[in-house]
Chain A
Amino acid sequence: MKSTVLQNCNKCGLCLSVCPTYKVLNQEHASPRARLQLINFYKDKKVLSSIGLKEIISKCLMCGSCAAICPSGINHYSQFMEMRTKMRHDHGEKVAIKSLIFLLAKEYRIRLAAGFAEFSQRIIPDNFIEKYNLGNIPVKKFPKLNKKPLRKAVPEIISPEKSKKGTVLYFTGCATNYAFDGTGFATIKILKQMGSEVIIPEKQTCCGIPMLFHGARDQAEKNILINIECLSQDDVKAIIVDCPTCGSALKNEYPALQKQLNLDDTAVQKISSKVIDIMSFILQESDHTDLFETSVKMKVTYHLPCHLKNGLKSSYNTEKILREHPGLEYIQAEDVDECCGGGGTFFYEYPEISKQMVATKLKNARSTGAEVWLTDCPVCRINLSGNLKEKDNMIVKHPVEML
């Protein structure tokens, strides 16, 4: 009795109960159901393209919670993405977003920009950095960029520590490559300890999600093709990601775009089936307990990223490891699985809404009394740490850095 037909939205409204934007605004016109209806009206030419329409379609974190709960199994995600493409085509994009897309479309541009930004972070006068905010987040709280991109700092092929138990590819994502090399080094260290030969394909580039979210499908296409090429390697048992958003791009969005972009179906499916986040990979391999660094003694809490929950469907693995780890005292925050309001560039585009989301997260994390707030996603990490106050005495890290 498997469904083969395209489902209609029954307008039941269940998606409203999980939509982070609806929960803050309490407006139907900020709900997934409304976006779907508007897309239908637009297709039927019952509503015209307008700035207002673009605004409603864009006021969304692309967290995927609506699709995850939808009883009719509607793929909101790809419908929203397609509509975003149309709206971008009709009404353009903010300069800042346009520049971001421009940068991410070419690896050398990201590299240049990161180099320049790293340099700028050193030369920009302190009073500028003290004064300005990007969205909600003070500029001074953005992560310091890596001295050297991770992929330049380590060899392309890294041998395992002990006897080889197989080869894995490591898709580092832009955040780890340019800003959070600590996550990258920790991931490589663990993989080596587990006996994996680690290949970090040199040609890999931005997964394309930031462009797809902003409707720049053409720009994303080139990146997708490059990544498919360098991730299509035989005799590889897994493709490791440390960023859940990159992960769900490789796992879900590439296959979803296969027809539209005429991608190599076999290659896309193969990549999709091998993608796994580092924490789930550790859990999946036996004897992971000997990887735990027992000298640490720390109180930690956790934020579950939406794309880990809804994209990679791996809601419990990181927490399981945190609970098992003898050196960590894990205290679950009340709203561990609620969206933090980061959402790619959402925190920049809609700071007022984002602020309300992150405020609750901060309150609940504080009340755990943890010293370290762990989260797998780099955007969540920037958003959470950017909103913490000096007096909070709490740092935000990727869970793999705690092992």
Chain B
Amino acid sequence: MLDSKIRNQLEEIVGQERLLEKPEELICYSYDAYLEESMPDLVLLPVTCEEVSKIMKICSSYKIPVTARGAGTSVCGASIPIKHGIVLCFSQMNKIMEINTKDRYIIVQPGVVNIDIQKALEPFKFFYPPDPGSMNVATIGGNVAQNAGGPRCLKYGVTADYILGMEVVLASGKTVRFGSRNVKDVTGYRLSGLFCGSEGTLGIVTEIILRVVPLPETIKTILVTFDDLDDTARSVSDIIGAGILPVAMELLDKLTINAIEDSANLGFPREAQGSLLIEIDGVKEACEKEMQKVIEKVKANNATSIKEAKSDKERDELWEARRSAFGVFAKLAPDIFSEDVTVPASKIPSMIRKTVAIAQKYGLKVGILAHAGDGNMHPMIPADKSNKEEWERVEKAFDEIVEAAVSLNGTLSGEHGIGLAKTRFLPLVMNEDSIEFMSVIKKAVDPDGILNPGKFV
């Protein structure tokens, strides 16, 4: 519980309306899209940088834990206040400050939802490429904190590749600014890269300058099916290996396709062992040429059918089906365990084989779903958390999947983050000195450890 004197000081900053303290309100900020829960002592909804700065000054002088939150869609528990204290929720600090497509940037507050950035840019025929699955809900502040990805990051890169500058409130309450409105800028350290992906452990981002790009002239989308999952995976490695760069290349196995068909009946081939959803964009001629090369590669790997989307509507349907994958899987059991390990493109076939074998070993169902082009795997295990014995098997399988990825020069997480979910695996990919180096930075910036404590650093 927070001392009433401190509480009153905080109320003076944000006012009564934006300070939450009743149990039924606090509960609503005790969770995100991860499996755990932890109650905050107080929730504040700041709307300006000044408010954040004042709040941080108080929190640092009393050493109160502060966990920043956007829309609470983290799947690794990054926004769960595991050490209690204060949740700073940014969902109401959601103004778009400037749109400048001539100079190709947009300036936003952290609470702006990703999809609202897309909508604001559309009239100018521009877009902001990172497209996490939660883009209709998730805020850009959360995207930045987690260095969010998405299907089209294969071609366009992830959140960190689009940050030109940012304004950050430090643990001390001081406000610092890095970067500028310029794509080229080597003035000082590139600190935006340090804060992006720091999961709120180093500072509180209060404004972001994002690079934006023109919408492509043409988009071509195909759905390819295979009789063999190995052929499917090899096609991915071959396409990437040949220097072709699709916007997205999504892999779905038989179990996943059938789960989608059961709920939506989109006419996906149920017999196929593997399917690839491939999208190419750019100027028309280049698109056609690239697509030709893609088709050669999948044919060489025994593709059984290739279907091109004939209209925007057909294209939307294919993507709709892909996006529904998580949901339809979630319906197979009370809970769902979704993974995020990532391996180099050439290792995709072996990673898939290993995943299937691990699931078999533990008697679990697994759906293989992947942003395959960049090796970002999302195997999904439907299970029942209340069934202790089954859940133990799920956790063991999960451990082995992570170990398998690491053994293939892969990494723990492609786009979901470490948060509460994967801290214990860090030593698998980082040596002691590397982990210690992160702590050195953390201590220098946040000596009292008040920013999102209890997470990976």
Q: Which residues of B contact A17 (CB under 8 A)?
A: 113, 115, 136-137
In the complex, how many angstroms separate the beta carbon of A137 from the nearest chain B beta carbon?
25
Per the 8 Å Cβ criterion, residues 1-59 of A in contact with B are 1-3, 5-8, 10-14, 16-17, 26-29, 31, 34, 37-38, 41, 46-48, 50, 52-53, 56
Is B326 located at the chain interface by the 8 A CB criterion? Answer: yes
Q: Establish whether residues B27 and A41, one from each chain, have CB atoms under 8 Å apart when the complex forms.
A: yes
How many A-B pairs fall under 8 Å by CB?
Answer: 105
Q: Establish whether residues A1 and B92, one from each chain, have CB atoms under 8 Å apart when the complex forms.
A: no
Q: Establish whether residues B24 and A38, one from each chain, have CB atoms under 8 Å apart when the complex forms.
A: yes
Binds A, one of B3-11, B29-37, B51-59, B150-158: B29-37
A sample of 13 cross-chain residue pairs with beta-carbon separation below 8 angstroms, ordered by A number, consists of A7-B330, A8-B335, A10-B336, A14-B134, A14-B137, A16-B137, A26-B91, A29-B20, A29-B24, A47-B23, A53-B24, A71-B330, A72-B327
Is A73 located at the chain interface by the 8 A CB criterion? Answer: yes
Task: Please give me the 10 A-B residue pairs with the lowest Cβ-Cβ distance, nearest first.
Answer: A71-B327, A17-B136, A34-B28, A29-B28, A26-B91, A13-B73, A3-B331, A72-B330, A53-B24, A8-B334
| Cβ 8 A contact of B384, one of A5, A13, A56 | A5
Give A41 to B334 CA distance when docked, in angstroms. Answer: 17
| Cβ 8 A contact of B71, one of A16, A52, A72 | A16
Q: Which residues of A contact B71 (CB under 8 A)?
A: 13, 16, 28
| Cβ 8 A contact of A14, one of B20, B113, B136, B332 | B136
Q: Which residues of B contact A16 (CB under 8 A)?
A: 71, 137
In the complex, how many angstroms separate the beta carbon of B327 from the nearest chain A beta carbon?
2
- Chain B residues near A (Cβ < 8 Å): 20, 22-25, 27-29, 31-34, 45, 71-73, 89, 91-92, 94, 111, 113, 115, 134, 136-138, 258-259, 262, 324, 326-328, 330-336, 384-385
In the complex, how many angstroms separate the beta carbon of B148 from the nearest chain A beta carbon?
14
Per the 8 Å Cβ criterion, residues 363-389 of A in contact with B are none
Closest to A35 in B: B28
Closest to A16 in B: B137
Per the 8 Å Cβ criterion, residues 309-349 of A in contact with B are none
In the complex, how many angstroms separate the beta carbon of A67 from the nearest chain B beta carbon?
13
- Chain A residues near B (Cβ < 8 Å): 1-3, 5-8, 10-14, 16-17, 26-29, 31, 34, 37-38, 41, 46-48, 50, 52-53, 56, 70-73
Q: Establish whether residues A29 and B25, one from each chain, have CB atoms under 8 Å apart when the complex forms.
A: yes
Closest to A10 in B: B330
Given A2-B262, A38-B24, A52-B25, CB of A28 within 8 Å of CB of B111: no
Given A6-B334, A26-B91, A71-B328, CB of A11 within 8 Å of CB of B32: yes
Closest to B90 in A: A26
**A13-B138, A17-B113, A28-B91 provided; 12 other pairs, C-beta below 8 A?**
A3-B331, A5-B334, A6-B334, A8-B335, A14-B134, A14-B137, A26-B111, A38-B27, A47-B23, A52-B24, A53-B24, A72-B330
Give A114 to B440 CA distance when docked, in angstroms. Answer: 74
Q: Establish whether residues A28 and B29, one from each chain, have CB atoms under 8 Å apart when the complex forms.
A: yes
Closest to B365 in A: A1
Q: Which residues of B contact A34 (CB under 8 A)?
A: 27-28
Given A7-B330, A71-B328, CB of A28 within 8 Å of CB of B89: yes
Q: Establish whether residues A27 and B330, one from each chain, have CB atoms under 8 Å apart when the complex forms.
A: no
Q: Establish whether residues A26 and B94, one from each chain, have CB atoms under 8 Å apart when the complex forms.
A: yes
| Cβ 8 A contact of B24, one of A1, A8, A50 | A50
In the complex, how many angstroms separate the beta carbon of A9 from the nearest chain B beta carbon?
10
Q: Which residues of B contact A56 (CB under 8 A)?
A: 24-25, 28
Q: Establish whether residues B28 and A28, one from each chain, have CB atoms under 8 Å apart when the complex forms.
A: yes
Give A386 to B22 CA distance when docked, in angstroms. Answer: 36
Q: Establish whether residues A71 and B258, one from each chain, have CB atoms under 8 Å apart when the complex forms.
A: no
| Cβ 8 A contact of A27, one of B31, B92, B333, B385 | B92
Give A50 to B25 CA distance when docked, in angstroms. Answer: 11
Closest to B45 in A: A27
In the complex, how many angstroms separate the beta carbon of B46 from the nearest chain A beta carbon?
13
Q: Establish whether residues B335 and A10, one from each chain, have CB atoms under 8 Å apart when the complex forms.
A: yes
Q: Establish whether residues B24 and A73, one from each chain, have CB atoms under 8 Å apart when the complex forms.
A: no
In the complex, how many angstroms separate the beta carbon of A10 from the nearest chain B beta carbon?
6
Give A147 to B72 CA distance when docked, in angstroms. Answer: 53
Give A37 to B39 CA distance when docked, in angstroms. Answer: 13
Closest to B23 in A: A47
Q: Which residues of B contact A28 (CB under 8 A)?
A: 28-29, 71-72, 89, 91
Q: Which residues of A contact B25 (CB under 8 A)?
A: 29, 52, 56
Give A14 to B73 CA distance when docked, in angstroms. Answer: 9
Give A53 to B25 CA distance when docked, in angstroms. Answer: 8
Q: Establish whether residues A73 and B94, one from each chain, have CB atoms under 8 Å apart when the complex forms.
A: no
Give A7 to B336 CA distance when docked, in angstroms. Answer: 10
Closest to A31 in B: B28
Give A38 to B28 CA distance when docked, in angstroms. Answer: 7
Give A34 to B30 CA distance when docked, in angstroms. Answer: 10
Q: Which residues of A contact B27 (CB under 8 A)?
A: 34, 37-38, 41, 46-47
Closest to A34 in B: B28
Q: Which residues of B contact A5 (CB under 8 A)?
A: 333-334, 384
In the complex, how many angstroms separate the beta carbon of B17 from the nearest chain A beta carbon?
10
In the complex, how many angstroms separate the beta carbon of B438 from the nearest chain A beta carbon?
28
In the complex, how many angstroms separate the beta carbon of B193 from the nearest chain A beta carbon?
27
Q: Establish whether residues A52 and B22, one from each chain, have CB atoms under 8 Å apart when the complex forms.
A: yes
Q: Establish whether residues A13 and B24, one from each chain, have CB atoms under 8 Å apart when the complex forms.
A: no
Q: Establish whether residues B137 and A13, one from each chain, have CB atoms under 8 Å apart when the complex forms.
A: yes
Q: Establish whether residues A37 and B24, one from each chain, have CB atoms under 8 Å apart when the complex forms.
A: no
Give A1 to B92 CA distance when docked, in angstroms. Answer: 41
Closest to A42 in B: B24
In the complex, how many angstroms separate the beta carbon of B381 from the nearest chain A beta carbon?
13
Q: Which residues of A contact B34 (CB under 8 A)?
A: 11
Give A10 to B31 CA distance when docked, in angstroms. Answer: 11
In the complex, how many angstroms separate the beta carbon of A59 from the nearest chain B beta carbon?
12
Given A7-B334, A71-B326, CB of A1 within 8 Å of CB of B262: yes
Give A31 to B137 CA distance when docked, in angstroms. Answer: 12
Q: Establish whether residues A13 and B334, one from each chain, have CB atoms under 8 Å apart when the complex forms.
A: no
Q: Which residues of B contact A27 (CB under 8 A)?
A: 45, 89, 91-92
Q: Establish whether residues A71 and B324, one from each chain, have CB atoms under 8 Å apart when the complex forms.
A: yes
Q: Which residues of B contact A52 (CB under 8 A)?
A: 22, 24-25
Q: Establish whether residues A13 and B332, one from each chain, have CB atoms under 8 Å apart when the complex forms.
A: no
Q: Which residues of A contact B137 (CB under 8 A)?
A: 13-14, 16-17
Q: Establish whether residues A13 and B33, one from each chain, have CB atoms under 8 Å apart when the complex forms.
A: yes
Q: Which residues of A contact B94 (CB under 8 A)?
A: 26
Give A138 to B134 CA distance when docked, in angstroms. Answer: 40
Q: B20, B89, B327: which has the most chain A beta carbons within 10 Å?
A: B327
In the complex, how many angstroms separate the beta carbon of B335 from the nearest chain A beta carbon?
6
Q: Which residues of B contact A2 (CB under 8 A)?
A: 262
In the complex, how many angstroms separate the beta carbon of A75 from the nearest chain B beta carbon?
13
| Cβ 8 A contact of B33, one of A11, A31, A73 | A11
Give A73 to B263 CA distance when docked, in angstroms. Answer: 10
Give A27 to B20 CA distance when docked, in angstroms. Answer: 11
